[in-house]
Amino acid sequence: MRLGMLCSRIRVEEKLLITELNRRGVCYERIDDGEIVFDLAQRELPFDVVLERSISFGRSLYTLQVLEARGVRCINRAAVVATCGDKLRTTEALLRAGVATPRTLLAFTPEAAIEAIETLGYPAVLKPVVGSWGRMVTRVNDRDAAEAVLEQLDVLGSWQQHVYYIQEHIAKPGRDIRAFVVGDEPICAIYRYSDHWITNTARGARAENCSIEGAVGDLALRAAQAVGGGILAVDLLETHDGRLLVNEVNHTMEFRNSIDTTGVNIPARIIDYVLNQEPRTQNLEPGFSQSVAPITLSVA
Amino acid sequence: MNCPECEATITLSPDLLDGEIIQCPDCGVELEVLSTEPLALALAPAIEEDWGE
């Protein structure tokens, strides 16, 4: 197997994966997404399998398309990255699969967005369709706040920030859940506790072990399958009446705070999965021919 | 090796990798290992809009 690892900066996670590969004596080539130049006239690339660990949604999305068009098996697939990296696509995939997720509305002008927010009621949550680590996720508690945020996005934001992705606010019990799914197996989960309503560990949340058995594992696996499967981190919310909802699915999961917390050797499980992949696929046409079903927009 | 931001002395791991992100123990700034041979550190690039997981 000619193995590649697509990387940007080498974070703790990438170093753990590299250490695991070295420990097993597995040869691989690092693909630096800041240095690589693809000659698109060249229809072959010297890889069978590539593990994507780029920190950049854009760079990974385009690199994976180039690789898959040349028959390289990518983990995760370009279609999965495209779905997970765009909240609209994620929500559509979850809804199509019947996976419980917060009620979500979509609008394209501040006026329509206000109408959507007030359909859901305050507080409501605004999110950028592309964004991670809780960045620019906003809870609007009243109309004054909603109007201020929407005006700022309208005036200062890029075209993508004029896509207003609006969700019902879920009153969490001071925590959420992150479940790790590798292939067909939910392998472990953590609670992320925070006094702040945004509970990303990137924003300082504290991790504790959470049982992956039962409803948590079942829902995480269904969510992972809904977006196309692979190596995924599924973020779950607990409602006040005991339901579990899928908040989002992450395609290049960070897990440094979860290994000791869960007792699961996450990098080893990832490398197990990668090395068990069938090398090479048929050359794929660009445009995500292995994508999930086409997007259909729901009307509120 | 000294931190390029605050010039504190940084003790580096022997298994450092090119592109690795480390943190200055003194000022806390993120540093990128530009190369291990010869050893070169620089302030890590600022986070971009599409970065994440």
Q: Per the domain annotation, does A214 fall within a domain?
A: yes
Using DSSP bridges, classify how beta strands A164-168 and A124-127 pair: parallel, antiparallel or unpaired: antiparallel
* Final residue in a domain of this structure, among A111, A140, A168: A168
Q: Per the domain annotation, does A206 fall within a domain?
A: yes
Q: Per the domain annotation, does A259 fall within a domain?
A: yes
Q: What's the gap in Å between the CA of A59 and the closest CA on chain B?
A: 9
Q: What is the ipTM of this complex?
A: 0.83
Q: Per the domain annotation, does A109 fall within a domain?
A: yes
Q: What is the percent of chain A with per-residue pLDDT over 90, rounded to a whole number?
A: 84
Separation of alpha carbons A32 and A45, rounded Å: 15
CATH of the domain at A225: 3.30.470.20
Query: Is A178 strand, coil or helix?
Result: strand
Query: Is A129 strand, coil or helix?
Result: coil
- For B24-50, how does the pLDDT look when each residue is reduced to its tens digit (9 = 90+)? 999 999 999 999 999 999 999 888 889
Using DSSP bridges, classify how beta strands A185-193 and A206-210 pair: parallel, antiparallel or unpaired: antiparallel
A110 and A147 both lie in a single domain: yes
Distance of CA A81 to the CA centre of its chain: 7
Give the residues across from A125 on adjacent strands.
A139, A167
For residue A170, what pLDDT is reported?
96
Q: Per the domain annotation, does A31 fall within a domain?
A: no
Output DSSP code: residue B12: P
- Lowest-pLDDT range of A12-26, A168-182, A199-213, A276-290: A276-290
Q: Per the domain annotation, does A194 fall within a domain?
A: yes
Task: Find out if CATH 3.20.20.150 is the number for domain B1-10+17-45.
Answer: no
CB contact under 8 A, B52 and A135: yes
Separation of alpha carbons A60 and A130, rounded Å: 14
pTM attached to this predicted model? 0.91
| Mean pLDDT, rounded, for A224-244 | 97
- From the number of C-beta atoms within 10 Å of its C-beta (0-12, 13-18, 19+), residue B39 rates as exposed
Q: What's the gap in Å between the CA of B51 and the closest CA on chain A?
A: 4
Higher-pLDDT residue of A180 and A196 is: A180
Which chain A residue shows the shortest CA-CA distance from B53? Answer: A252
Separation of alpha carbons A91 and A242, rounded Å: 21
Pull the structure tokens for residue A183: 């292939």
Q: Spell out the domain ranges in chain B.
A: 1-10+17-45
A207 and A243 both lie in a single domain: yes
Q: Which residues of A touch B15 (CB under 8 A)?
A: 19
Domain carrying residue A159: 103-168
Is the per-residue pLDDT at A299 higher than 60? Answer: no
A252 and A185 both lie in a single domain: yes
CB contact under 8 A, A7 and B20: no
CB contact under 8 A, A10 and B48: no
- For A70-98, how does the pLDDT look when each residue is reduced to its tens digit (9 = 90+)? 999 999 999 999 999 999 999 999 999 99
In whole angstroms, how far apart are CA A276 and each of A177, A266, A279? 28, 16, 9
Which chain B residue shows the shortest CA-CA distance from A81? Answer: B53
Q: Per the domain annotation, does A234 fall within a domain?
A: yes
A123 and A140 both lie in a single domain: yes
Q: Per the domain annotation, does A137 fall within a domain?
A: yes
Separation of alpha carbons B49 and A163, rounded Å: 15
Pull the structure tokens for residue A289: 């021919």
- For A239-294, how does the pLDDT look when each residue is reduced to its tens digit (9 = 90+)? 999 999 999 999 999 999 999 999 999 999 999 999 999 877 665 544 444 444 33
A160 and A180 both lie in a single domain: no
Question: Residue A196 — very low, low, confident or very high, per pLDDT cuts 50/70/90?
Answer: confident
Chain A, 172-201: which have a CB under 8 Å from a chain B CB? none
CB contact under 8 A, B53 and A251: yes
Handedness of CA A95, A103, A202, A215 (dihedral sign): negative
Number of structural domains (chain A) is: 2
For residue A293, what pLDDT is reported?
39
CB contact under 8 A, B17 and A18: yes
* Final residue in a domain of this structure, among A122, A150, A168: A168
CB contact under 8 A, A55 and B51: yes
